[in-house]
Amino acid sequence: MIKLAIVQEPPVFLDREKTIARAVQLVQDAASQGARLIVFSEAFIPGYPAWIWRLKPGGDWGLSEQLHGRLLSNAVQLSSDQLRPLLEVAREMQVTIVCGIDERDEDTSRATLYNSVITISSEGEVQNCHRKLMPTNPERMVWGFGDASGMKVVDTPVGRVGSLVCWENYMPLARYAMFAQGIDIYIAPTYDSGDRWIRTLQHIAREGGCWVLGAGNVLRVSDLPNDFPEVDRLYPDKEEWINSGDSIVISPAGEIVAGPLRKETGLLFADIDVSEVNAARRSLDIVGHYARPDIFSLQVNIRQQRPVSFNG
């Protein structure tokens, strides 16, 4: 049996260094209680841009620029030392960490953001970085489009781990690409919540015959910084839960074994048996004996996107 923990805590919103420090403490807390895999939510560092669901694209242009500027300044650059504390605690505690980040482009303009999820190995290295393929609705005003170069399942001490972010999980071909890599633990960091979302994750677990971890985004108005602009207009109810979380652990049979953690903060623990994946796929292996490669095939472009070149 392997113990895992899903972190359902708010970040120190729009503050990269303080959020990373909070994440380090949460990893230490979870690891001290036996967790070997520790999962954070979508865009945990430095926070999910929840304001996009309340602002008007035209009328709130100035406010959008102001908030976006703060997000950009606090986003993560993977080639820097910004994540070093999180890498060091993974190595120190010998745990695998999966964490959502706002990633800042380093190759071209340095102004494009991606909704990314990173896997940190127990050796303290970034083992994989996946950029969300398709930002949803107003998310396209914040994040660029990812590619499939990081859409990988990686070996870890706890099993074969992979991740799709939020509504990427509604993309059947993306799911199939993950299943085809022999995924054991399918991680879905998300801003979505509620019963319909939970039923979606249950379907994915049954479909893929894998463990599914829904890492829910939790945020209250009281978690916003004191200098958050126009907070009284955007969030007049100071007791409001902007997002209720709903972190959950689902077995390969589609059964809920822990959670959902709703309108609560904390660590959601579960003990899982990865060998249950094999039992689940005995009768239904949609990329194995239940597939029809003579009829269907899937081709995935795993090449990294390259910027357009301009010749003077």
Active site residues: 42
Is 47 in contact with 13 (CB distance < 8 Å)?
A: yes
> What is the distance between the terminal CA atoms of the chain, rounded to a whole angstrom?
60
> Is the backbone peptide bond immediately before 46 cis, with ω within 30 degrees of 0?
yes
Is 42 in contact with 214 (CB distance < 8 Å)?
A: no
For residue 192, which of 50, 71, 64, 51 has the smallest C-alpha distance? 50
DSSP β-bridge partners for residue 185 = 161, 211
Q: Cα–Cα distance between 101 and 45 in angstroms, integer?
A: 5
> Is the backbone peptide bond immediately before 260 cis, with ω within 30 degrees of 0?
yes
Q: Cα–Cα distance between 143 and 116 in angstroms, integer?
A: 10
